[in-house]
């Protein structure tokens, strides 16, 4: 199971109701995608233990996406037994840290800073987190993908009927086929491929069909929706998307669900949701504290 | 009238109920004393317009007192017509800013950075904000004072009875006495001195009788109370005060009211308030969003 919690859903400037951008993903471990100002407190308010953060991924270095990470580091250092925390961030982060670090109490070894790049960033037991470049002003900016591995799952009844038992299951999985009682059984005859769960986050991004390619068939697309179509030109100029544009990407990519986030301060939310739904029905505008639970397919 | 709003009342680490340290003072202008992470959002939640901030005073450079200022600067720059914002902070702040500023959009002229020092920092129309050094670990750390000027106020009835009218009021104030109808009238015969309001904030400070001297007769003392007497040694070691110590300072200084703040995460608040009240009755433990309205004396 993969739990996605929206810790902050505002864009650029917070409001009384929306904190700065941050998303928590809990699979076997806990990851943060962006870490805007106030993130550690939102984690506390939403019952997400900050001590368990395996890695923080910062999509780009605009202040609203990164300013929560320094306080989080301090809190983890002071209040937990953790010896290290990993942060993936674009070039420039180490310079920010150099300015701030004399004020912090951590040893250099406490931080494992990795430069964000396109491709796989983190490999888990049966999943990966990777990044892809997006179009956002002149900043180096990335989107993120959580990809669970595809898995072969046996049709137990079929397999037993064909005589498979014990270590034969492993053998057929390794060889692709197996002789059982004189007959050749192919792996595909007794199994199906469970597609791994896929979550794609655009970070801050203008309308970009490249994002649709990356998001192809994703279980969940989390997309920039700083503006509505009423301010489409401003959106493009500022390197952000409108709700309708986000929905177009979702439709093109045939994702299962779209969540609009990075909501501009002039919008309440429902009007952006309505705009998106006209293009892509399964759209929802994120709220702070919203949780989405993704479950793998049960059977085929 | 002077309004004091407690925007954040935690110490070091926030909690679901307490934001990082920040206090808003509204007199003719708006001032921030410390600006912990999340301060701008707390201002929005408490109905305090961030656009009106005249100056921010950072008592010391521990992260919990300063990390909100960068986001606040960005928001003021993006969302208001302001051309400048003034920040008083200890040495080292410009280095922090140098690390972060390439990520921010402001022109150097937007920020008016002043180095914090002992003595008067800001002069208003009839008040001043000044700083005094406090004992807090090895950091350069300050407390702050808001001091309204004392004013001569006329006893209107007495003055009229003795024949004062029109510009005589200004004249007697300037000269100290005046001949009216052959008789000499002294200023003190027709007037009284209205003591200016005084608010003293210890910042982060261990028990220090120097603070009591500064706070002498203050209308309001806002004091570090990170710990209770149960952890008195830890308090001293870490350069913080206990609730009882804060109360001792309040008693020594004969202030009108004590507010405990910078509440450590292990305390709820009421237990610290009870501890302080045993020594100094008019003690209260701050809560986020708490407002205190100070009014000048009406007459004597």
10 Å Cβ neighbour count for A142?
Answer: 28
Chain A interface, best mutation among B96, B140, B289, by max A CB count within 10 A: B96
Contact flag A96-B79 (C-beta cutoff 8 Å): no
Lowest-pLDDT choice from A101-115, B36-50, B116-130, B257-271: A101-115
At residue A106, does pLDDT exceed 90?
no
Confirm or reject contact between A21 and chain B (CB < 8 A): no
Closest residue in A to B94 (Cα) is A99
Contact flag B14-A95 (C-beta cutoff 8 Å): no
Contact flag A63-B79 (C-beta cutoff 8 Å): no
Chain A environment of B66 (Cβ under 8 Å): 103
CB A84 within 8 A of CB A110: yes
* Dist. CA B259–CA B224, nearest whole Å: 9
| Cα angle value B13/A72/A36 (rounded, 5°) | 115
Model confidence, pTM: 0.92
Q: Give A68→chain B minimum CA distance, Å.
A: 8
Contact flag A100-B100 (C-beta cutoff 8 Å): yes
Chain A environment of B99 (Cβ under 8 Å): 95-100
At residue B293, does pLDDT exceed 70?
yes
At residue A105, does pLDDT exceed 90?
no
Q: Is A65 helix (H, G, I), strand (E, B) or coil?
A: helix
Q: Give B265→chain A minimum CA distance, Å.
A: 10
Residues 6+ apart with CB under 8 A from B28: B124, B125
Residue of higher predicted confidence among B162 and A131: A131
Confirm or reject contact between A79 and chain B (CB < 8 A): yes
CB A257 within 8 A of CB A249: no
B291-294/B2-8 β-pairing? antiparallel
**Which pLDDT value is given to residue A299?**
67
Contact flag B71-A79 (C-beta cutoff 8 Å): no
Chain B interface, best mutation among A7, A8, A10, A14, by max B CB count within 10 A: A14
Nearest to A15 among B44, B68, B99 (CB): B44
**Fold topology of B2-150+195-294:** Metallo-beta-lactamase; Chain A (3.60.15)
CB B293 within 8 A of CB B40: no
Chain B interface, best mutation among A13, A50, A102, by max B CB count within 10 A: A13
* Dist. CA B166–CA B180, nearest whole Å: 12
Contact flag B102-A92 (C-beta cutoff 8 Å): yes
**Which pLDDT value is given to residue B300?**
63
Window A:239-298, CB contacts with B under 8 Å: 265
In DSSP notation, A21-63 reads SEEEEESSSEEEEEE-TTHHHHHHHTT--GGGEEEEE-S---H
**Which pLDDT value is given to residue B101?**
84
| Tens-digit pLDDT profile for residues B227-252 | 999 999 999 999 999 999 999 999 99
Confirm or reject contact between A103 and chain B (CB < 8 A): yes
Contact flag B100-A38 (C-beta cutoff 8 Å): no
Confirm or reject contact between B97 and chain A (CB < 8 A): yes
At residue B29, does pLDDT exceed 90?
yes
Averaged pLDDT, A16-41 = 97
Averaged pLDDT, B169-197 = 90
Burial B206-243 (b: 16+ CB within 10 A, else e): bbbeebbebbeebbbbbbbbbbbeebeeebbebbbbbb
Region(s) of chain B under CATH 3.60.15.10: 2-150+195-294
Q: Give the residue from A289, A280, A261, A223 showing the smallest Cα distance to A41.
A: A289
End-to-end CA distance of chain A: 18
* Dist. CA A172–CA B65, nearest whole Å: 61
Compute the mean pLDDT over every residue in chain A, rounded to the nearest whole number.
Answer: 94
Averaged pLDDT, B152-162 = 88
Confirm or reject contact between A67 and chain B (CB < 8 A): yes
**Which pLDDT value is given to residue A109?**
86
Residue of higher predicted confidence among A34 and B106: A34
Tokens of residue B141, six digits: 């750390």
- A252 vs A215, A217, A240, A245, B164, CA distance in Å? 9, 9, 18, 11, 86
At residue B215, does pLDDT exceed 80?
yes
Confirm or reject contact between B16 and chain A (CB < 8 A): yes
Q: Is B235 helix (H, G, I), strand (E, B) or coil?
A: helix
Averaged pLDDT, A247-258 = 98
CB B31 within 8 A of CB B54: yes
| Tens-digit pLDDT profile for residues A30-83 | 999 999 999 999 999 999 999 999 999 999 999 999 999 999 999 999 899 998
At residue A203, does pLDDT exceed 90?
yes
Contact flag B99-A104 (C-beta cutoff 8 Å): no
10 Å Cβ neighbour count for B49?
Answer: 11
At residue A235, does pLDDT exceed 70?
yes
Percent residues over pLDDT 70 in chain A? 99
| Tens-digit pLDDT profile for residues A155-184 | 888 888 888 888 988 899 889 899 988 889
Averaged pLDDT, A269-290 = 98
Averaged pLDDT, B162-175 = 89
Q: What is the sign of the dihedral through the CA atoms of B108, B96, B100 and A70? A: negative
Helix axis angle for A93-100 and B93-100, nearest 10°, is: 170
Q: Give the residue from B55, B54, B15 showing the smallest Cα distance to B37.
A: B15
* Dist. CA A148–CA A135, nearest whole Å: 26
Closest residue in A to B46 (Cα) is A16
DSSP bridge pairs for B243: none
At residue A2, does pLDDT exceed 80?
yes
* Dist. CA A51–CA A136, nearest whole Å: 32
Compute the mean pLDDT over every residue in chain B, rounded to the nearest whole number.
Answer: 94
Residues 6+ apart with CB under 8 A from A47: none
How many Cα atoms occupy the beta-carbon half-sphere of B199 within 13 Å?
25
Averaged pLDDT, A190-207 = 95
Q: Give the residue from A115, A118, A145 showing the smallest Cα distance to A129.
A: A145
Percent residues over pLDDT 90 in chain A? 79
* Dist. CA B131–CA B148, nearest whole Å: 14
Q: Give B29→chain A minimum CA distance, Å.
A: 23
Nearest to A71 among B15, B67, B100 (CB): B67
At residue A108, does pLDDT exceed 90?
no
Q: Give A189→chain B minimum CA distance, Å.
A: 54
Residue of higher predicted confidence among B98 and A117: A117
| pLDDT band at residue B165 using 50, 70 and 90 as cut-offs | confident
CB B229 within 8 A of CB B242: yes
Contact flag A70-B63 (C-beta cutoff 8 Å): yes
């Amino acid at each position: 199971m993969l739990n996605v919690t929206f810790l902050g859903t505002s864009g650029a400037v917070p409001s009384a109701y929306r904190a700065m951008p941050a998303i928590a993903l809990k699979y076997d471990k806990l990851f943060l995608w962006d870490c805007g100002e106030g993130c550690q407190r939102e984690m506390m308010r939403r019952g997400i233990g900050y001590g368990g953060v395996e890695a923080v991924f910062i999509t780009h270095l605009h202040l609203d996406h990164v300013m929560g990470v320094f306080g989080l580091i301090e809190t983890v250092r002071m209040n937990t037994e953790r010896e290290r925390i990993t942060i993936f961030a674009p070039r420039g982060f180490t310079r920010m840290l150099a300015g701030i670090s004399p004020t912090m109490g951590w040893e250099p070894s406490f931080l494992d800073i990795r430069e964000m790049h396109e491709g796989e960033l983190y490999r888990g037991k049966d999943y990966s987190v990777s990044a892809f470049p997006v179009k956002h002003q002149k900043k180096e900016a990335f989107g993120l993908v959580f990809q669970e591995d595809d898995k072969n799952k046996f049709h137990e009844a079929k397999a037993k009927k064909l005589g498979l038992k014990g270590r034969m299951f492993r053998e057929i999985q390794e060889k692709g086929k197996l002789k059982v009682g004189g007959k050749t059984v192919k792996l595909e005859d007794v199994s199906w491929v469970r597609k791994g769960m896929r979550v794609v986050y655009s970070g801050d991004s203008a309308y970009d069909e490249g994002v649709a390619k990356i998001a192809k068939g994703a279980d969940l697309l989390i997309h920039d929706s700083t503006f509505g179509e009423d301010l489409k030109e401003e959106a493009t100029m500022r390197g952000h998307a409108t709700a309708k544009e986000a929905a177009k990407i979702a439709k093109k990519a045939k994702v299962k669900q779209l969540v609009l986030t990075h909501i501009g301060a002039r919008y309440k939310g429902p009007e952006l949701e309505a705009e998106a739904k006209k293009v892509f029905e399964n759209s929802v505008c994120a709220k702070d504290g919203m949780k989405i639970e993704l479950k793998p397919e049960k059977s085929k």
